[in-house]
Amino acid sequence: MEILVTHLKRKPSGDAARRVSEVSDDVIRIGRGADCHVHLPDPRVPLVHSEIHTQDGASYISKLQTLSDLAVNGKATRSARLNIGDRLDIGPYELVVTDCPENKELCLTVELTRPFGDDFVGLNQRSVTELTSLGFGKTTWSILATVVTLVVCLGLPLAAALMPAQQAPDTGTAAAEPRLALLLAAWISSADSLWISGGISNAHRYFADDCGVCHQKPFVQVKDAACLQCHEGIQQHADAKKFASASFESFSCQSCHKEHGGLEPIVLDEQAFCSSCHVRLRTMEPETRVLDVGDFGVAHPEFRPTVMTDPTVPTKVRISLADAPKLKEMSNLKFPHDKHLRRLGDAGGTEPGGIQHPQKGRIELSCQDCHEPEPGGAGMLPIKMEKNCEACHGLEFDPNAKHRRLTHGKPREAVEQMREFYAMMALQGGLQDPTAPRVVRVRRKPGQTLSPEEMAVSLRWAMKKAAEVAEETIGKRACGKCHFVTPPDVGSADGIWHVMPVYLVDRWMPKGRFVHRDHQQETCESCHAAGTSKRAEDVMLPSIERCRECHSGEESTGKVISVCITCHKFHQPDMGPMKASNTGLLGISSLP
Amino acid sequence: MHQSFLIYRRFLFLWVAMMVILAALLAYVIHDPLGSPNGGTWLGYTLGSIGGLLILWLMWFGVRKRRYGVGKVNLQAWLSAHVYLGTTLIVIATLHAGFQFGWNIHTIAYALMMIVVVSGLFGVFTYVRYPSMLTRNRDDGTLERIFLEIANLDQRSRSIASALDDETAATIVKSCEARVGGGAFRQLSGGDPSCPATAAFKLIQRRAEEVTGEPALKFAQLSELLSRKCELLKRARGDVRMQALMKVWLFVHLPLSFALLAALIAHVISVFYYW
């Protein structure tokens, strides 16, 4: 077949330059290959793209490669009959079947309709070389970040602060409002916990969720009234009327107690806080009886226990442990610790070792036999005669009636007990006592009565006997052994013996805290010299140097750090309230 | 030249910053408050005020930067002060907080501030390091020149490939579709795993070894062209990467500094709401 191929090249003016070539062959090949009749030199076209052949006077085009594109009049196809006016799209070329002169079977125009274009321009268009957005631009991100931060950090907590406390709904209850709404409300209402600036001390944790308990008014510092809701009546440090520097008037609770520091208690324990005044207290307050004190290890004076010096008044005085001659506790008791604590192997002089027990013979006593720790282990329970002494020091008064004991602590009753006893003995008769009158010694016959004279004799004897026994027991053997006693007044008829009242100081150092239980690894003897104490007047306290064997001040190394409040309190009892309480008109605290 | 904001006036603002840090550290060490150090002691309030005002002044730099030609103090001085004094915030804020951190908005504000400062320091790093690297990478030319050369290589390789087999021609045509950069991630990575030029290069290299005769010369030429193109693309992508790094930190630095401002406002309000 003979075909005419016209290559068109568009000019900017719109006209086309033409290059015409004639080809003649049985089958016309179209492709990139140089041997193709219709040479389409663009690399996007396969070497051999398609063929045109004639059949029965008509021309047909058919694609030779399945993967390449061929469209006839816009429709993709593998092969088609060619008519005048048909438009073929082969790669970037457009071929149009045109009207032909008679000697040609087919005429085609070929035009490169999709040239490559400017590679440089194309590269620029395809490439994105500037970082202008990261999902969003910087402005959008800034707005987003600001809004989110304001909501989370300001909005939600503020909403929580302003709304009343909500409870999360129980799992079982059927609520009127939707459960989700209640959960959300509960969650939002706790959002002001995002504002917390530090952990709450352990003792305050049970109301830590409700900031308003202490922060009662917004933008107003926590006032003393908030603390006094619970700590009402917290006492002064010292007598504020007498010592101006102890009034702490310009201080609020917050001046010393700082919350939001974590779980630790908010009690100030720094030594410097106390010693800033106490190291020069006598200069600041000349009236004070407290000695100047600093660090426990190096600047704490010797202990000055409060000792009973005159039981008749009674008078208690603080005497330093260093002042041995003056250091005597006048309790009106007689008690030798050394005798009671003798060891069995300690035979010396005429007495064997140990101490005599009425039933058990010679025994050894130890501190625990009489001194029981009180519950909590701070101090010891008070010594009670009935509990701690009577087992050995029974108050019998008659060897023939050992079961009869005098009541301890009541001398009048004791005398009367003895009188009643002997009166009964006299009335009963049959008494085996050669010194007694006959009427008392004689056995009564059944139904026998006593004459008035006999009764008088019996009673006189009973009273006399009671007085003798009283002198022996109260005066010497029983009461007089431990107490200071005075006989009945001369000229008085009541015959009542007087026992000097006993004044045992409850605590030798009432302003200092000492817990025995914390020291239970030590022996009693290591601090209390009981084994050598002969008299009850001995104040058996250890010197401060004994404590300093283990304890020292804040800056110590290798010793137990003991600051002022380890043993002392700031808020002293019975000094009067530190702050006037403020519980409102009705006296109702603002706690829920 | 980019380094000059660091050495501006013989490190004037570095000295200022060091003095500020020293003063803050000294005050912190000497000050012995009741309880533990925190933002509510007198030193805490002082450091907090200084830090807050510093943050506001640092953000003003963004405004000043856009006032071209206006202002008594030149922009380089502003930048130098911004960088050095901004870095002191690390110390000032930490001492203000007394090293107390927790799950609350105060620590959120602190964290935002730290991210802003660190992202800024990263920005400083890129500004100091990358400009000279960019110049070297471009062979003292421009990115545009590299593109022009790539375009030229495209044309030439296409014209050679049009005489070769279909697969080679198609591959070469595809290789001219290569692009530089793209989305943020692609720009920052400095590579393109789907680069058609690299694929074409691999194919052509393989074929160059197999083919003999006349086409072998053409394949050798193509191989050389593609090798050069891939190298240029690598340089161009490296260029884009460095420029992107010099910009990406601002996407953190700016939005989070506004978030920091919001958090700071919340912090101050909350601290005095529950005083």
Peptide bond into A164 cis (omega under 30): no
A587 pLDDT exceeds 70?
A: no
Rg (CA), chain A: 58
- Say which DSSP state A525 is in: G
Distance CA A50, CA A28 (A): 8
Choose from B154, B270, B271, B272 for mutation: most chain A CBs within 10 A.
Answer: B270
Distance CA B42, CA B196 (A): 66
* Tens-place pLDDT, residues A382-416: 999 999 999 899 899 888 888 899 999 888 899 99
Residues of B in contact with A119 (CB under 8 A): 150-152, 154-155, 176
Q: Lowest-confidence range among A17-21, A411-415, A428-432, B195-199? A: A428-432
What's the average model confidence in pLDDT over A581-587?
Answer: 44
First to last CA, chain B: 49
* Tens-place pLDDT, residues A186-205: 888 888 889 998 889 999 99
* Tens-place pLDDT, residues A97-156: 998 887 888 899 999 998 888 899 999 999 999 998 888 999 999 999 999 999 999 999
Per the CB < 8 A criterion, the answer to whether A354 and A342 are in contact is: yes
What's the average model confidence in pLDDT over A444-452?
Answer: 84
Which residue in the set A34, A144, A157 is minimally distant from B270, CB to CB? Answer: A157
Distance CA A61, CA A49 (A): 10
Which comes out higher in pLDDT, residue B36 or A19? Answer: A19
A170 pLDDT exceeds 70?
A: no
Per the CB < 8 A criterion, the answer to whether A106 and A84 are in contact is: no
pLDDT string in tens for chain B (275-residue length): 556 888 888 899 999 999 999 999 999 999 988 778 888 899 999 999 999 999 999 999 999 988 887 778 888 899 999 999 999 999 999 999 999 999 999 999 999 999 999 999 999 999 999 999 999 998 878 999 999 999 999 999 999 998 888 888 999 999 999 999 999 999 999 989 999 999 999 999 888 888 888 888 889 899 999 999 999 999 999 999 999 999 999 999 999 999 999 999 999 999 999 88
Q: What is the pLDDT of residue A577?
A: 87
Which residue in the set B180, B188, B267 is minimally distant from A127, CB to CB? Answer: B180
Q: What is the pLDDT of residue A528?
A: 94
Which comes out higher in pLDDT, residue A320 or B71? Answer: A320
Residues of A in contact with B266 (CB under 8 A): 149-150, 153-154, 157
Residue type, B215: P
Contact A43 B256 (CB under 8 A): no
Crossing angle for the helix pair B42-65 and B214-273, to the nearest 10 degrees: 140
Per the CB < 8 A criterion, the answer to whether A500 and A307 are in contact is: no
A588 pLDDT exceeds 60?
A: no
SS3 of residue A387 by DSSP = helix
Kindly report the nearest CA distance between residue A92 and chain B, in angstroms. Answer: 12
Q: What is the pLDDT of residue A592?
A: 41
Distance CA A174, CA A153 (A): 33
Residues of B in contact with A270 (CB under 8 A): 34
What are φ and ψ of residue A247, in 5° steps? -80, -30
Size of interface A-B (CB pairs under 8 A): 191
Q: What is the pLDDT of residue A168?
A: 60
Token code pair at residue B231: 């190298």
> Band of the pLDDT at A585, cuts 50, 70, 90?
very low
Contact A123 B265 (CB under 8 A): no
A165 pLDDT exceeds 80?
A: no
Contact A215 B243 (CB under 8 A): no
Q: What is the pLDDT of residue A171?
A: 61
Kindly report the nearest CA distance between residue A122 and chain B, in angstroms. Answer: 8
Q: What is the pLDDT of residue B3?
A: 65
Distance CA A293, CA A295 (A): 7
> Band of the pLDDT at A583, cuts 50, 70, 90?
very low
ipTM of the complex: 0.90
> Band of the pLDDT at A520, cuts 50, 70, 90?
very high
Neighbours of A133 (CB within 10 A): 13
Residues of B in contact with A161 (CB under 8 A): 273-274
Question: What proportion of chain A, given as a percentage, has pLDDT over 70?
Answer: 96
Residues of B in contact with A47 (CB under 8 A): 165-166, 169
Residues of A in contact with B103 (CB under 8 A): 194
Per the CB < 8 A criterion, the answer to whether A560 and A568 are in contact is: no
* Tens-place pLDDT, residues A338-376: 999 998 887 767 777 888 898 888 899 999 999 999 999
What's the average model confidence in pLDDT over A198-220?
Answer: 90
Q: What is the pLDDT of residue A96?
A: 93
What's the average model confidence in pLDDT over A492-505?
Answer: 84
Contact B265 A154 (CB under 8 A): yes
Q: What is the pLDDT of residue A581?
A: 58
Which residue in the set B108, B179, B275 is minimally distant from A215, CB to CB? Answer: B275
A590 pLDDT exceeds 60?
A: no
